[in-house]
Amino acid sequence: MKQKPIKKKFKILKIVLAIIVLLWIILIAIDEIPYILPNRLVCRSAEGSTIIKHNGYQITGYRSGFFNIQEAQNRVDEIGLDAFLDEFAEIYVRQSKRGECRKR
């Protein structure tokens, strides 16, 4: 009779572990989605991430806590979008801990 409660506990443990693994996989997939979407510069570091969306000519949006889109657009008007993205990525990597940037 003691085997039934043990089997039931293992069954519950397997279900809980399966749910944890599934949630972990979903979180990894959500974290990687910005890397596969087009027309973006995605910069990530230990401090957080910045995503700059563009249409090939100008900045169309961003996701960041410290990004000023008006100043960025003025800089794009001065030097062009590609040069701005390269400049931003270089500064971001230099100033962040283990930072990286990828163009998509």
Percent residues over pLDDT 90 in the chain: 36
- pLDDT tens by residue, 36-68: 666 889 898 888 888 898 888 888 888 886 778
CA distance 37 to 44: 15
Burial class (CB in 10 A: 0-12, 13-18, 19+), 53: middle
Let me know: does 101 contact 89? Beta carbons within 8 Å.
Answer: yes
* Sequence ranges of the domains in the chain: 1-36, 38-104
- Does the predicted TM-score (pTM) go above 0.85? no
pLDDT score for 64 = 81
